[in-house]
Structure formats: C-alpha cells, structure tokens
Amino acid sequence: MAPASPRPYTLLSVAAALATIGLKTLAWRLTGSVGLLSDALESGVNLVAALVAFWALTLAARPADADHHYGYSKAEYFSSGLESALIVVAATAILVTAGERLLHPEPLGPVDLGLALSLLATAINGGVARVLLRAGHRLDSITLRADAHHLLTDVWTSLGVVAGVALTKLSGWPVLDPLIAIAVALQIIFTGWRLLRETAAGLLDRALPPAELAQLEALLRRHSGEGVAFHALRTRLAGSRRFVSCHVLVPGSWTVQEGHDFCERIEAEISAVLPRCHPFTHLEPIEDPRAWGDERFRWEGPEE
C-alpha cells in the first residue's frame, strides 16, 4: 500500500540523490568533463532539496496550535523557495567553471565508462521522478511536485550532457564541452525561476485553480434559490490545504438551528468536492440589505 503521507517519498529522493552524486562525480573524475561536473553539482542540489523537503513536510504535517491557528501547511513553500535559491547557486558555479574551461580548453579523458555511469544515474533519477510526480498529484503536495519536476529537468539535461560529451570526443573540439555546460546552467536557472514563481504565488495566498473554483461555484448554484443565496466567496491555497469562506443568506424566518444545519451541510459538501479543504460559512438573513455588500460572487437562484 502506498504511503498516505508525502514524507516517505522524500527519503526515496534522498537515496536517489546520494546514488547519483556518487555516479556522476565518478563520471566527471574519469572524463574531466565540465559538462559532467555540472551534472554532478545539480545532483548535489537535489540532495539538499530532498533533505529540506523532508523537514518542510514534517513541519507542514503538524496540527494547528495556540500560535498557529491555521496549521503549518505553508512550510512546504520553504522547501521550494530554498530549492530555487540552491538551483541558482549551482548554476552560477557551473557558469564560472565552464567559463574558465572555455578560455583554457582541455582534451577529455576516456569517456566510455564515464558516460555509462552518467546514463545509469539518469535512469535512477527518471524512475524516482515518475514516482514523486504521481505521489505529488495524488497527495496534492507542491514539495513533491517541485522535486519531481526538478529531477525530470535533471534527466533531460543529463541526456544533453552525455550527447554533448560524446560529440566533443568524436569531433575533437574540446570547446564544445564548456559550451554544453553553459547551456545546462541556463536551463537550470530557468527551472529555478519557475519554482520561485510557484513559491511566491503560494505565499501570496493564491486563489484555488479555475477548475476547482468552477466545481465550488457549481455546488453553490445548485443550492441557490427558494430564499437561499450565497456571496462573498473567498478561497486560498496553503500548501496542500484549501481554505474556502462564503456568506450564506437564508430566510430570516428560519430558526438558528435550521440555519446552522444548512451551513453544516454546505461545508460537508464542499469538503467532499475539494480534498483537504477547510470551509467556513457566515450565516446572514437574506432580507437584510446590508448582507449584499459584495456583489462579485452572488447567486440568488439557479442559472437559466
């Protein structure tokens, strides 16, 4: 049975990073290729990112307490944010090393065993990335998805490096090796920028994705009419958790118990539609004109 928590998957990522660091470092030592060195440095970033991801997911799983009423789910963004920064640091180191080799080209050593080791490391990363990506979608974890996409980028850049090193050896043009390393560094920076944007969006309390908002709005429309309406809908994402709030307008003739039961029903249906959701409703009498202060989200009846 697959784990119900994303944390065990980060340990798989740690193990894969350790294995690929060893294989790619050995490949670099055998060949002297700065392209393969750049690949090994990116695996070092993977290791640090996996360790931070384990810590962030452990913290994010903690329940709400007196100091954190909404829990610790945003801790996941620490992991993706740090990974973005580490990617930029690794890319800078690659650019410096490749720049020096570009000014002073050196012939490569024997590449057969080195390239075989690099391909083995690439296969490990590819397999782990598939596992993490599936788990990230199933468990709705931005940390696992970020780690998986980073590993997939590593796979493609590794294949590019292997092809480039082989071409350098066959052509006898040593200048190709640092040029390939520079291309890899630029690709790594692009990956870091994408992760940074996703992290920033999460920290700024981004609303639910359009598909989920459409599900939520369709649910509220089904219950609108016959003296019941909804407005002031607010949503936000915090890691894998969702927060939804809205005002529920009911006839003033209802008892408090009837209004409470209706709100409980709405909250239960929202939780059933949206996984790991925390809905909040505010009950108001529909006859009170002050209840219609926000017109952006208003359903007085079913759509025509």
Same domain flag for 38 and 143: yes
For the chain, percent of residues with pLDDT exceeding 70: 91
Print the domain residue range for 233. 210-299
Same domain flag for 61 and 164: yes
Same domain flag for 84 and 198: yes
Segment 152-187, tens digit of pLDDT? 877 877 777 787 778 777 777 777 777 877 877 787
Domain CATH code at residue 256: 3.30.70.1350
Write down the pLDDT at residue 294.
52
Q: Read off φ and ψ for residue 243, nearest 5 degrees.
A: -125, 125
304 falls within a domain: no
91/236: higher pLDDT: 236
Query: How does residue 267 score in pLDDT terms, banded at 50, 70 and 90?
Result: very high
56 falls within a domain: yes
Query: How does residue 3 score in pLDDT terms, banded at 50, 70 and 90?
Result: low
Same domain flag for 171 and 270: no
Segment 73-120, tens digit of pLDDT? 777 777 777 777 777 777 777 777 777 777 777 676 677 788 888 899
Query: How does residue 303 score in pLDDT terms, banded at 50, 70 and 90?
Result: very low
CA-based end-to-end distance of the chain: 46
51 falls within a domain: yes
Q: How many domains does the chain divide into?
A: 2
Same domain flag for 194 and 230: no
Residue 111 near residue 166, CB atoms below 8 Å: yes
Segment 185-235, tens digit of pLDDT? 787 787 777 777 777 776 777 788 888 889 999 999 888 877 888 988 899
What average pLDDT does range 240-263 have in this prediction? 91
How confident is the prediction for the chain on average, in pLDDT?
80
Residue 302 has pLDDT above 50, yes or no: no
Tokens of residue 61, six digits:
């799983």
CA distance 270 to 175: 59
Same domain flag for 71 and 199: yes
Write down the pLDDT at residue 291.
62
1 falls within a domain: no
Write down the pLDDT at residue 296.
43
Write down the pLDDT at residue 238.
75
Write down the pLDDT at residue 48.
79
Give the end of a domain, one of 150, 172, 203.
203
193 falls within a domain: yes
Residue 241 has pLDDT above 70, yes or no: yes
Same domain flag for 142 and 288: no
For the chain, percent of residues with pLDDT exceeding 90: 17
CA atoms 116, 119, 123, 129: torsion sign:
positive
Give the end of a domain, one of 203, 219, 237.
203
Query: How does residue 1 score in pLDDT terms, banded at 50, 70 and 90?
Result: low
Give the end of a domain, one of 187, 203, 219.
203
59 falls within a domain: yes
Domain CATH code at residue 185: 1.20.1510.10
Write down the pLDDT at residue 145.
79
2 falls within a domain: no
183/256: higher pLDDT: 256
Same domain flag for 190 and 232: no
Same domain flag for 268 and 172: no
